[in-house]
Amino acid sequence: MKCDLVKSCGSSKLVAFFSGFASDSSILSRAKLPQGFDAVVFCDYRDLNCDFDFSKYSEVFVVAWSFGVRVADMFADRFFAKAKIAVNGSLYPIDAERGIHPEIFKKTAENFSEENKSRFYRRICGSFADFEKNSSLLCARPATELKAELESLGAYFSAMPAKSSAESWTCALASKSDKIFALENMRRAWGGKLRIIDGAHFNLQAFDVAFEIIDREVRKVGGAFERNLDGYDKSALAQREICSRLVGDIKSSVPKDFLDSVSTVLEIGCGTGMFTSALSQILGSANWYLNDLTEKICASAANKIGGHPEIIAGDVLDVELPKNIDMVVSSSCFQWVGDLNEKNKKIHSSIKCGGIFAFSTFGGQNYIQIRSLLGKGLEYREMGEIIEILGKTGFSVVHSAEDLRALEFKSPREVLRHIKSTGVNGGFSEFWTPSKLRDFSERYRRAHSCENGVLLTYNPIRIIAKKKF
């Protein structure tokens, strides 16, 4: 397998494009890649050896085209994808009902030649005119190599069943005039995840639509919090309790003379200011720096403490943080940050030697009910792993605690309203048809009922650490 980093801007966010058979990185030379992302293209699947380092990125988004959909599925355990968009491809690529008929695939592989390569390219482009217009984007490798690639893909698909299901993908796009993957087969493969657009199998417009969806997914978390700012404090009962306990931990674990001397404090993921307000009561006249995804969110927190806090809007991994800070704090935010190692390094460079880093996040049992039913959600770390990463990045833990709390709701619909009102719906993006909601509700009640309705588990983790050097 080849991998080409076609765009590198030092971002913590990556678009991984798994291309189809008989393609290379030139396929994206006209694409409207989302701003603020690095982008890598995977292609040439004669072997599936890949040494690309996904760990450098806190957020990975996948766009996969044609046979690349199944290849992306094969690599699902190499990274946690925030969103996955399929374009004119299937998790069952060689399948009479949900992909390409096995006999058609077999004959194509057996008879692939230079002459047939040209016919194949015209077929995927939909017309001779489009073939001529897009010829520079089509792979120039000889037919012998492409035949070997096609045979290898057939062997891989036969030997390894699909790891994921349609439900774990954000959406799938299918072209009306695709002559490779029949539209009816795509409907059977993707069900309610499918969106139909104009065009042929090789569809530059579809790629741009996929990248637009990725861009919207990135903005969705901040947008979800913005839309629910007014009702957040009323709905976020568990988060309020976590804030209160974290403030109590700070008072009991951090020396009073240090707290009295704090002159600068940076809060990451300040939200509506629930924690900001509570902590400001014990920090006196400290100068605050407030960070969250948008200025509107930060302003909501700033209004609760008065004064003139400095607002730092944007992803914590992308913005510049102030230096020589006495104390960095955060409550119920870091579960959204994928690369904890990079985040800790950045915070370490912001804090004075001997400064305090106090935060809460969530562990592996958080929202376990809804995650198990939908097959997606945020990737949570266990407390031991979080503490280990802190040690490696120059912090010593002075206090840690972990809790499990099960909230009761009257119905699964009430659970969904709760996560929406607390801004978490970006982690569970879903298109709810009436039948899909009924099925979800029935399964939720069967698996997670209680005397008064159904349960939803919170698994908060609270940690206070000190910068060692």
Domain boundary among 221, 253, 281: 221
Q: What is the mean pLDDT of residues 6-34?
A: 91
According to the model, what pLDDT value does residue 13 have? 86
Domain count, the chain: 2
- Residue 62 lies inside a defined structural domain of this protein: yes
Same domain, 147 and 217: yes
Same domain, 80 and 149: yes
Domain residue limits at 80: 2-221
How many CA atoms lie less than 13 Å away from 326 in the CB half-sphere?
14
Q: What is the mean pLDDT of residues 74-98?
A: 93
According to the model, what pLDDT value does residue 308 have? 87
Pick the closest to residue 181 from 92, 52, 311 (CA basis): 92
Same domain, 216 and 287: no
Q: What is the mean pLDDT of residues 203-220?
A: 84
Q: What is the mean pLDDT of residues 383-409?
A: 95
Same domain, 55 and 194: yes
At 68, the pLDDT band (50, 70, 90 cuts) reads very high
Domain boundary among 205, 221, 237: 221
Distance CA 396, CA 388 (A): 10
According to the model, what pLDDT value does residue 381 have? 86
Q: At what angle do helices 383-392 and 340-350 cross, to 10 degrees?
A: 50
Distance CA 364, CA 458 (A): 10
C-beta atoms surrounding 293 within 10 Å:
23
At 157, the pLDDT band (50, 70, 90 cuts) reads very high
- Residue 113 lies inside a defined structural domain of this protein: yes
Q: What is the percent of the chain with per-residue pLDDT over 70, rounded to a whole number? A: 93
Same domain, 163 and 244: no
Among 159-168, 236-245, 296-305, 425-434, whose mean pLDDT is lowest? 425-434
- Residue 257 lies inside a defined structural domain of this protein: yes
Same domain, 176 and 130: yes
Same domain, 290 and 344: yes
CB distance 464 to 399 below 8 Å: yes
For 46, which DSSP code? T
pLDDT tens per residue across span 116-141: 999 999 999 999 999 999 999 999 99
Among 225-239, 251-265, 309-323, 378-392, whose mean pLDDT is lowest? 225-239
Cα angle 430-436-440, degrees, rounded to a multiple of 5: 90
According to the model, what pLDDT value does residue 226 have? 60
| DSSP per position, 52-78 | --GGG-SEEEEEEETTHHHHHHHTGGG
Q: What is the mean pLDDT of residues 294-302?
A: 88
Same domain, 84 and 145: yes
Pick the closest to residue 167 from 220, 80, 64, 91 (CA basis): 91
Asked if the model's pLDDT at residue 222 lies above 60, the reply is no
Domain boundary among 171, 194, 221: 221
Pick the closest to residue 323 from 344, 341, 349, 343 (CA basis): 349
Tell how strand 81-87 and strand 395-402 pair up: unpaired
CATH of the domain at 359: 3.40.50.150
At 342, the pLDDT band (50, 70, 90 cuts) reads confident
Strands (E), 286-421: 287-292, 310-313, 325-330, 351-362, 395-402, 405-409
Cβ within 8 Å of residue 47, ≥6 positions away: 1, 152
According to the model, what pLDDT value does residue 107 have? 95
Same domain, 183 and 40: yes
At 384, the pLDDT band (50, 70, 90 cuts) reads very high
* 261, burial (CB in 10 Å: exposed 0-12, middle 13-18, buried 19+): exposed
Pick the closest to residue 79 from 379, 351, 349 (CA basis): 379
Structural tokens at position 126: 């939909």
Phi then psi for residue 439, to 5 deg, are -65, -45
Q: What is the mean pLDDT of residues 372-377?
A: 78
Asked if the model's pLDDT at residue 258 lies above 90, the reply is yes
Q: What is the mean pLDDT of residues 345-360?
A: 96
Structural tokens at position 442: 């029935």
According to the model, what pLDDT value does residue 242 have? 93
Distance CA 228, CA 211 (A): 26
- Residue 196 lies inside a defined structural domain of this protein: yes
According to the model, what pLDDT value does residue 423 have? 62
- Residue 25 lies inside a defined structural domain of this protein: yes
- Residue 424 lies inside a defined structural domain of this protein: no
Same domain, 98 and 154: yes
Same domain, 204 and 242: no
C-beta atoms surrounding 251 within 10 Å:
12
According to the model, what pLDDT value does residue 69 have? 97
CATH of the domain at 37: 3.40.50.1820
According to the model, what pLDDT value does residue 325 have? 97
Same domain, 64 and 186: yes
Q: What is the percent of the chain with per-residue pLDDT over 90, rounded to a whole number? A: 68
At 436, the pLDDT band (50, 70, 90 cuts) reads confident
Cα angle 411-412-416, degrees, rounded to a multiple of 5: 120
- Residue 425 lies inside a defined structural domain of this protein: no
According to the model, what pLDDT value does residue 231 have? 63
What is the pTM for the complete model shown?
0.59
Query: Average pLDDT over the chain, rounded to whole?
Result: 90
